[in-house]
């Protein structure tokens, strides 16, 4: 194995602003549970960043997805359209809500969900579409919204990887009835663990608040209006979130700078296609790159081994859902060849605000050497 002096990690949160100060403030105020000023402030600031009226903070992005689906009344007998290429939490929460997921392929030329595939997947039972803006890149929202309007379907956007991405000047998350974000440690911004449902629908927001808090009537203690959950965020996590909001634009700019360095670093590298956008303005989460084995002279898995030997953290793209045991039997709309192709040839490379441009140069240079 080659000797190397570097170890480049996939992701690291950027916590150099008021994060510590606000967490201490929350701690000293003794408001460390799920009531406190940072929760309200974080919800308001994030919702207004997306351009919507209500933010309902949750314990994580997965509970946000479940909360949104349950509040919309998605249940047994309903079908929900999800992309075949996504992180599994999206489909898991459809199943958890009791509904049936229908898997739809990626676009032929981009990893995000194909609106033509959505059309093919529609049945009288279809209740909702869940576009996932995967790897920070927006889905074809104009097409998806016209299908939803035509067929009176809910759109629940999974924005867990795409805070700040936009289409035609509208933020992702502002298209659907409700949208779900994650603030896990490796996401665009973090609260440690955390999530949020964002909507401008007053009744839906009230319903999500009620379900988030055990289904309890907010004006009548221990009176339960529905079977609910404890999906609340703590004031400590929200304290980190408020500090992250103060620096969100700086974080997005730094991520873009790193992403741009990758995109130009990979220009002309044989067999590698990195981070290309199909619609709107993307943000840079982890850096997706796809390997054309014939042109690169090396397959995806062998390339990943060599990248690791160079001291660079690397991950495979998400596995297409239909290839994994729990999802094999799910209904699918047409064939899933494009998502399988993106899944089998994709890698994710390190991207986070603390990276240096020379780290990117080292990564692109190492990969260039490997593919020859
Ligand atoms: C991270 C992620 C989630 C889940 O968020 P958690 O906060 O980790 O529960 C859901 N969907 C996608 C696409 C994600 O990347």
Q: Please check the confidence at residue 2 and state whether its pLDDT lies above 80.
A: no
1 pLDDT above the threshold of 60: no
The reply to whether ligand 1 has any atom less than 6 angstroms from the CB of 184 is: yes
- 332 compared with 363, residue with greater pLDDT: 363
- Predicted pLDDT of residue 6: 78
Rounded to the nearest whole angstrom, what is the distance from the C-alpha of residue 286 to the centroid of ligand 1?
A: 13
Helix residue ranges per DSSP H, the chain: 19-29, 37-50, 61-71, 89-96, 115-121, 141-151, 202-212, 235-246, 248-265, 293-296, 300-309, 337-345, 357-371
- For ligand 1, mutation pick of 66, 158, 186, 286 (most atoms within 8 Å of CB): 158
| Position in ligand 1 atom list of the atom nearest CA 184 | 7
Average pLDDT over every residue of 254-280: 96
Cα 359 to chain center, whole Å? 25
CA of 5 to the centre of ligand 1 (A): 33
Specify the residue with its C-alpha closest to ligand 1, atom 6: 61
Q: Residue 301: left if φ>0, alpha if ψ -120 to 50, beta else—which one?
A: alpha
275 within ligand 1 shell (Cβ under 6 A):
no
Tell whether the model's pLDDT for residue 3 goes beyond 80: no
Would you list the DSSP string of 120-144? HH--TTEEEE--B-GGGPPP-HHHH
89 lines ligand 1 (CB under 6 A): yes
C-alpha dist (Å) from residue 220 to 206, 210, 216, 225: 15, 11, 8, 10
| pLDDT at residue 135 is higher than 90 | yes
Cβ of 136 less than 6 Å from ligand 1 = no
Cα 338 to averaged position of ligand 1 atoms, centre (Å)? 22
Q: Which pLDDT value is given to residue 332?
A: 87
Compute the 3-state secondary structure of the chain and give helix, strand, coil in percent, each to the nearest 5.
40, 20, 40
Q: Residue 224 gets which letter from DSSP?
A: B
- Contact predicate 150/119, CB 8 Å: no
- Sign of the CA dihedral running 212, 88, 283, 110: negative
CA distance 367 to 274: 12
Would the CB of 60 count as within 6 Å of ligand 1? yes
Q: Residue 232 pLDDT more than 60? A: yes
Residues 6+ apart with CB under 8 A from 256: 283, 284
| Pocket-testing residue among 61, 91, 139, 162, ligand 1, by greatest number of atoms within 8 A of Cβ | 61
How far, in Å, CA of 291 to CA of 294, rounded? 9
Q: CA 161, CA 353: separation in Å to the nearest integer?
A: 15
Q: Three-class SS of residue 334? A: coil
- Ligand 1 in contact with 195 (CB < 6 A)? yes
Q: What is the DSSP letter of 68?
A: H
**pLDDT bracket for residue 372 (50, 70, 90):** confident
- Measured by CA distance, the residue closest to atom 5 of ligand 1 is 61
| Mean pLDDT along residues 282-287 | 98
| Spatial separation of the C-alpha atoms in residues 171 and 281, rounded to whole Å | 9
Q: Is residue 171 within 8 Å of residue 49, measured between CB atoms?
A: yes
Tell how far the Cα of 93 is from the centroid of ligand 1, in angstroms: 11
CA-based radius of gyration for the chain: 21
Q: How far is the CA of 160 from the centre of ligand 1 (A)?
A: 5
**Which tens digit of pLDDT belongs to each residue from 162-199?**
999 999 999 999 999 999 999 999 999 999 999 999 99
Cα distance between residue 322 and residue 346, in whole Å: 16
What's the CA-to-centroid distance between 29 and ligand 1, angstroms?
Answer: 31
Q: Per-residue pLDDT for 125 more than 60?
A: yes
What single DSSP character describes residue 192?
A: B
**Angle, vertex CA 318, rays to CA 313 and CA 323, nearest 5:** 135
Identify which of 283, 360, 250, 233 has the alpha carbon closest to the alpha carbon of residue 16: 250
**191 closest CA partner among 87, 30, 45:** 45
For residue 194, give the ligand 1 atom closest to its CA.
7
The SS3 call for residue 98 is: coil
H/E stretch holding 83:
strand 79-83
Give the angle subtended at the CA of 358 by the CAs of 357 and 361, to the nearest 5°. 95
Confidence band, pLDDT 50/70/90 cuts, at residue 4 = low
Tell me the per-residue pLDDT of 16-69, one tens digit each, with 9 for 90 and over.
Answer: 999 999 999 999 999 999 999 999 999 999 999 999 999 999 999 999 999 999
Characterize the bridge pairing of strands 100-104 and 79-83.
parallel
Question: What pLDDT does 5 receive?
Answer: 66
Q: Residue 334's pLDDT is what?
A: 87
Residue 219: the pLDDT is 94
**Ligand 1 pocket: which of 86, 184, 188 to mutate (most atoms within 8 A of CB):** 184
Q: What are the backbone dihedrals phi and psi of residue 198, each rounded to the nearest 5 degrees, phi first?
A: -125, 135
Average of per-residue pLDDT values in the chain: 97
* DSSP 8-state assignment for residue 222: T
Q: Given ligand 1 and candidates 83, 87, 192, which is best to mutate, with the most ligand atoms within 8 Å of its CB?
A: 87
CA of 86 to the centre of ligand 1 (A): 9
């Amino acid at each position: 194995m080659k000797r190397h002096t570097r170890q480049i990690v996939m992701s690291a949160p950027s916590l150099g602003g008021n994060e510590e100060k606000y967490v201490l403030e929350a701690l000293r105020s003794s408001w460390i549970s799920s009531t406190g000023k940072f929760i309200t402030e974080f919800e308001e600031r994030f919702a207004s960043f997306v351009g919507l009226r209500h933010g309902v903070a949750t314990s994580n992005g997965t509970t946000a997805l479940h909360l949104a689906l349950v509040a919309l009344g998605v249940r047994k007998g309903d079908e929900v359209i999800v992309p075949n290429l996504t992180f599994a939490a999206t489909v898991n929460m459809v199943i958890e809500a009791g509904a049936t997921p229908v898997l739809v392929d990626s676009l032929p030329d981009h990893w995000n969900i194909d609106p033509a595939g959505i059309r093919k997947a529609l049945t009288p039972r279809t209740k909702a579409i869940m576009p996932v803006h995967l790897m920070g890149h927006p889905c074809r929202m104009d097409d998806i919204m016209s299908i939803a309007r035509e067929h009176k379907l809910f759109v629940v956007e999974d924005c867990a990887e795409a805070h700040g991405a936009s289409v035609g000047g509208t933020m992702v998350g502002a298209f659907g009835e409700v949208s779900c974000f994650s603030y896990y440690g490796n996401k665009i911004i973090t609260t440690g663990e955390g999530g949020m449902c964002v909507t401008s629908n007053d009744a839906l927001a009230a319903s999500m608040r009620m379900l988030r808090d055990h289904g309890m009537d907010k004006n009548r203690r221990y009176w339960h209006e529905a079977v609910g959950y404890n999906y609340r965020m703590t004031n400590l996590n929200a304290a980190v979130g408020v500090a992250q909001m103060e620096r969100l634009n700086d974080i997005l700019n730094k991520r873009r700078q790193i992403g741009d360095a990758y995109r130009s670093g990979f220009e002309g590298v044989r067999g590698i296609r990195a981070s290309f956008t199909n619609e709107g303005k993307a943000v840079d989460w982890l850096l997706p790159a796809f390997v054309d084995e014939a042109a690169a002279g090396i397959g995806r898995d062998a390339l990943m081994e060599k990248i690791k030997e160079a001291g660079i953290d690397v991950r495979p793209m998400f596995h297409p859902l239909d290839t994994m045991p729990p999802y094999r039997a799910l209904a699918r709309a047409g064939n899933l060849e494009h998502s399988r192709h993106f899944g089998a040839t994709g890698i994710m490379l390190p991207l986070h605000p603390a990276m240096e441009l020379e780290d990117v140069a080292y990564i692109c240079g190492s990969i260039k050497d490997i593919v020859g």
